[in-house]
Structure 1
């Protein structure tokens, strides 16, 4: 065997070995990253849908609660005025909200009205929340499985306007959650091929091709599942396509390398090392890495373009997840703004102020603080509109109800994994440095720094905004109040930082005065 042939065979063997290792390492790096991203993507969609269902429960619960304390309804039920109930209460629930089941009982639990869009076998004695309402004279709302159909049911006693009298009867409202309703809720944020409701009986899980979202009641009991089959353009499919491209490129480069071996061996060796290093960086999350696709070596240009497209695909999926995440947050805040007129614009201003304070403090989690500030009042979804929009000052009892909104916000965000830090920031944004805040009375360094930032931004916007019972303060007055309450209500460092931001950014300062 002559030296040239030996060299050729050796180089071919080395090339085959190297690219085999290259292919295996690439598959290992990318497969791990893809599986992680795909899992997070599925978890995100599960959290989104569960959040939407929770919002539906909150909405029905609030509507039933608002109509449970009403003198006209109380008297109509007590006097069994069926015409009035049909023409007003039943008409309101069925036309305004399209609820599927409305049952009104007198105080002896005898049915007065029984409206239903479907043939529902609603045995009230077998539904726990209804029995709890009868027993405790309180409102309860939960998800219930009736004949393999899923309903959000809310039951409540019917009280007079002040709640001073014994209930004159009971109100039971049910909203059926079917495929069409759920598809309307999620079609803008989730790319799916089919959606099916499944009961616990005879269920067969195909985890590889489907996503199963558990439907749970208040006792955390699984009543059934939502089965979603995603469209075929998922992340795993991209991985297999890219991997096939790598294999094709391998064979093309093998032939070209044999032909040009004596001329480009060193160049190829150098480029391969650089490519492996950059793919390693991409696999670790640096998706902004771009390989040079103008090397005048066709095979490496193809490889570079493939890797760049792969990096771009991953980044697009991450950006899509982030976009869906922001859209959900904005949708939640829109629903709150519709309910509470004061909240319109308030959350975005507080988020803007908090972001500037965080930047001034050189914090790393600026985006997290901005999102927490944007949804800091999300707990007000659980506060009656009659209190939120009351035109005069609140009573002590009403203010006590308002003070529950940080804890309610924490409960809303508690089951969303990517809100793990944000839920704590939201929970403590009304705590005070001196420990006289709420909900837990934390003080000093026990309060998260992010919550202290939002507390200053929230208070400043409240003072510089018109309220129904007072006119807004000017900037100087608001700054004086912040300074007066340093060390008691507010963190002195954050107050000083915010004042510096005001003084340094005159355009920012002018915007508050408008």
Structure 2
């Protein structure tokens, strides 16, 4: 919408038409042209700088319903700005959302300028708006499943693993509703269900195995003890000629040695039972290691799904995990930081899991991303948090993934938090992530050398990156160089 608004307002022929009250040209290019396919704008209003409306078109509502104080405020902001740009693409426009009666519209308002001489004064403004449902339909090609507008006052009861909501407000910061994007969750649901089923089966097997071993051992040892007791009582009763257990001090030559034999046998039985239990413990450990490998395999499967969509990042998650783990280990050993290295390793491995829902044509775009495309990419940390939030086993790492694009000066996303509010693990992953991104090929550029990448990153130390963590990272790189030599 922004590009179209500029194309049809910052133009020498339009500028002259407004200047000379050439309504035929204005009507053709604005009202007639922009209301037809492929543009299909719902509202088109052209304004003089001082004399009011030049031309207008409204598909769904009479003009009197849309000529509101909010609309004039937008137009005044557009007209009264100072424009000193040499490039049309750099000229700012007013854009956002407005509600006229019961209809919500996405709008853009561009100044009327002469593209042959951008230093000429603004003589008017072009206001273009698209009804919200038509605006949302433009997003549909970028999502797998369904995108729709949810007006203010309507509650959603859908339970989704991945469900993004973009809350929208008008120019006076009044809440209007949400643009909701649902995604195809079948692969994620299938993985989640299989993973939960696998863990449940393992738990049941281990529980039954432990109970069986305990029961069998208890029965076996009990029988041995009872037999030993019976034999000892019988033996001592025979020696004493009584049915009671004799005192150990009473001995008769050639008989008391049998008790020692029984006790020795019983001792050996205990040792055998301990040996069996140790073997069972080793078996349980082997099962645990096997399931740990299955767990890691499931994680690698999730990462491979991202790499299939974005081949330029192949191996990126593994390298970020490696750097993050080494930085975390150094901070624990040298600085005494309290860091769960296992959680850090898994979070680093899954930090880009949210890119599963980013369209491939955006991930692999060779040129510069538009503002709308970049906003979709920036949501991947929140998407990752939403995915992990629905799997209980990832409760300890979901916030690490959520904040790995936050900067210590508060300029990051998605929440703009800063300083100590950012988890230490997220700060570590941020440094490893940026370094690997700079030092590897991307669709839109070749890789920087290590020296060039570090030079770029050093300029952001204290802004994006924690100085102490960055220092530890440099030590990791230095040690890596020495090892290679």
TM-score by length of 2: 0.51
Instruction: Indicate the SS of the match to 1:469.
Output: coil
Paired with 1:472 and 1:240, the residues of 2 have a C-alpha distance of: 57
Paired with 2:185 and 2:345, the residues of 1 have a C-alpha distance of: 36
Match among 193, 201, 208 for residue 237 of structure 1:
208
C-alpha deviation, 1:313, in angstroms: 3.9
C-alpha deviation, 1:316, in angstroms: 3.5
For the aligned residue pairs, the C-alpha RMSD in angstroms reads 4.4
Paired with 2:204 and 2:310, the residues of 1 have a C-alpha distance of: 40
Paired with 2:230 and 2:339, the residues of 1 have a C-alpha distance of: 51
CA contact (8 A) 1:482 1:495 kept: no
C-alpha deviation, 1:403, in angstroms: 0.7
Paired with 1:444 and 1:176, the residues of 2 have a C-alpha distance of: 35
* Partner residue, 1:421: 396
Match among 295, 320, 330 for residue 325 of structure 1:
295
* Partner residue, 1:455: 430
* Partner residue, 1:487: 462
Alignment of 1:363-382 (within 5 A): 364-382=339-357
Paired with 1:312 and 1:379, the residues of 2 have a C-alpha distance of: 38
* Partner residue, 1:394: 369
* Partner residue, 1:252: 224
Larger radius of gyration: 2
Matched, 1:338 2:308: yes
Paired with 1:391 and 1:477, the residues of 2 have a C-alpha distance of: 21
Instruction: Indicate the SS of the match to 1:437.
Output: coil
CA contact (8 A) 1:503 1:509 kept: no
C-alpha deviation, 1:296, in angstroms: 9.9
Instruction: Indicate the SS of the match to 1:373.
Output: helix
C-alpha deviation, 1:246, in angstroms: 1.8
Instruction: Indicate the SS of the match to 2:207.
Output: helix
C-alpha deviation, 1:509, in angstroms: 6.6
Match among 379, 383, 407 for residue 404 of structure 1:
379
C-alpha deviation, 1:430, in angstroms: 0.5
Paired with 2:258 and 2:411, the residues of 1 have a C-alpha distance of: 74
Pair 487,407 (structure 1): closer, same or farther in 2 beyond 3 Å: same
C-alpha deviation, 1:370, in angstroms: 1.1
Instruction: Indicate the SS of the match to 2:472.
Output: helix
CA contact (8 A) 2:365 2:444 kept: no
C-alpha deviation, 1:327, in angstroms: 1.5
Paired with 2:184 and 2:373, the residues of 1 have a C-alpha distance of: 29
Pair 412,473 (structure 1): closer, same or farther in 2 beyond 3 Å: same
Match among 415, 427, 434 for residue 409 of structure 2:
434
Paired with 2:203 and 2:400, the residues of 1 have a C-alpha distance of: 38
Paired with 2:287 and 2:357, the residues of 1 have a C-alpha distance of: 34
C-alpha deviation, 1:250, in angstroms: 2.8
Pair 353,240 (structure 1): closer, same or farther in 2 beyond 3 Å: same
Alignment of 1:29-48 (within 5 A): none
Instruction: Indicate the SS of the match to 1:234.
Output: helix
C-alpha deviation, 1:411, in angstroms: 0.6
Instruction: Indicate the SS of the match to 2:408.
Output: coil
Pair 475,249 (structure 1): closer, same or farther in 2 beyond 3 Å: same
User: CA offsets, 1:375-398, max 9 Å, x none?
Assistant: 111110111101000012222222
Paired with 1:264 and 1:437, the residues of 2 have a C-alpha distance of: 81
User: CA offsets, 1:278-315, max 9 Å, x none?
Assistant: xxxxxxxxxxxxxxxxx993212222023213423433
CA contact (8 A) 2:312 2:443 kept: no
User: CA offsets, 1:408-437, max 9 Å, x none?
Assistant: 110111111111121111110000011000
Pair 484,460 (structure 1): closer, same or farther in 2 beyond 3 Å: same
Paired with 1:432 and 1:396, the residues of 2 have a C-alpha distance of: 20
C-alpha deviation, 1:484, in angstroms: 2.0
Paired with 2:279 and 2:323, the residues of 1 have a C-alpha distance of: 38
User: CA offsets, 1:426-462, max 9 Å, x none?
Assistant: 1100000110000000111110000000000001111
Instruction: Indicate the SS of the match to 1:297.
Output: helix
Alignment of 1:57-456 (within 5 A): 234-247=205-218, 248-256=220-228, 297-362=267-332, 364-456=339-431
Instruction: Indicate the SS of the match to 1:326.
Output: helix
C-alpha deviation, 1:463, in angstroms: 1.3
Paired with 1:312 and 1:478, the residues of 2 have a C-alpha distance of: 47
Paired with 1:429 and 1:465, the residues of 2 have a C-alpha distance of: 19
C-alpha deviation, 1:258, in angstroms: 7.2
Pair 136,265 (structure 1): closer, same or farther in 2 beyond 3 Å: farther
Pair 441,240 (structure 1): closer, same or farther in 2 beyond 3 Å: same
C-alpha deviation, 1:321, in angstroms: 3.3
Paired with 1:486 and 1:263, the residues of 2 have a C-alpha distance of: 81
CA contact (8 A) 1:383 1:401 kept: yes
* Partner residue, 1:8: none
